[in-house]
Chain A
Amino acid sequence: GAVVSQHPSRVICKSGTSVKIECRSLDFQATTMFWYRQFPKKSLMLMATSNEGSKATYEQGVEKDKFLINHASLTLSTLTVTSAHPEDSSFYICSARERRGLANEQFFGPGTRLTVL
């Protein structure tokens, strides 16, 4: 149980285009999902917290107009990187917290590697 998937697993796009990444909780309902970014050989940085049915809250320094987050249902959150540039290339990882689970327990997706040419 508690499986989180991400799609796509890797994507290559041209500079200036937008890319959407999906995060799904496969066997549980997730009221809250989180989006992280990981630069090569670096740690994970929390970007934003996504709550079902409400606006995402972004960490300091993260551009909300650049990284659009939608959490339309209890099993799906999407991250759209708008007008992507090479500096947006990174490994994006989502996690989900179970609706009736522990407040501090998260289940992580396998990640999406974005390369912007």
Chain B
Amino acid sequence: AQSVTQLDSHVSVSEGTPVLLRCNYSSSYSPSLFWYVQHPNKGLQLLLKYTSAATLVKGINGFEAEFKKSETSFHLTKPSAHMSDAAEYFCVAPGGDNFNKFYFGSGTKLNVKP
């Protein structure tokens, strides 16, 4: 079954510095991967998704992620962090019989220091 591992439960960066949130997937076949963001007491917002069209995926708010099959990784990056980026980030992989179920990584809480 497909699963994702988020290696860091907490990441702290200073405003204006780069962000790297790590995600590794387990299956040899990965039809798609997603990154979602959840701000405190808010719902989930889709940041970006990989659907095998292009390995470098650009999302909203300046985030992007690169699918690397050789490393089974789909790390989320942003060149310059803003205070408003402070939130919980989830890497998500579809699973189940038809890949229509979403399985969430454990999440990474991003803290942005002034």
Show the binding face of A for B, using Cβ within 8 Å. 32, 34, 36, 41-46, 49, 93, 95, 97, 102-106, 108-111
Residue total for B at the interface (Cβ-Cβ under 8 A): 22
Contact of A93 among B43, B103, B105 (CB under 8 A): B43
B102 engages A34 (CB within 8 Å): yes
Closest A residue to B90 using CB positions: A43
Residues of A within 8 A of B102 (CB): 34, 46, 95, 104, 106
Q: Is B28 an interface residue (CB 8 A)?
A: no
- In the complex, whether B44 has a CB less than 8 A from a CB of chain A is yes
Q: Mark B39-74, 1 if CB is under 8 A from A, else 0.
A: 000111000010100000000000000000000000
Point out the residues of chain B lying under 8 angstroms from A43, CB to CB.
90, 104-107
B101 at interface, CB cutoff 8 A: yes
Q: Which 4 A-B pairs rank lowest in CB-CB distance, beginning with the nearest? A: A110-B43, A108-B44, A104-B94, A44-B104
A49, A104, A109: which contacts B32 (Cβ < 8 A)?
A104
- Other A-B contacts than A42-B106, A46-B101, 14 sampled, CB-CB below 8 A, are A32-B100, A42-B107, A43-B90, A43-B106, A45-B104, A46-B102, A46-B103, A49-B96, A93-B43, A93-B44, A104-B32, A104-B102, A108-B44, A110-B43
Chain B residues near A104 (CB-CB < 8 A) = 31-32, 51, 94, 99-100, 102
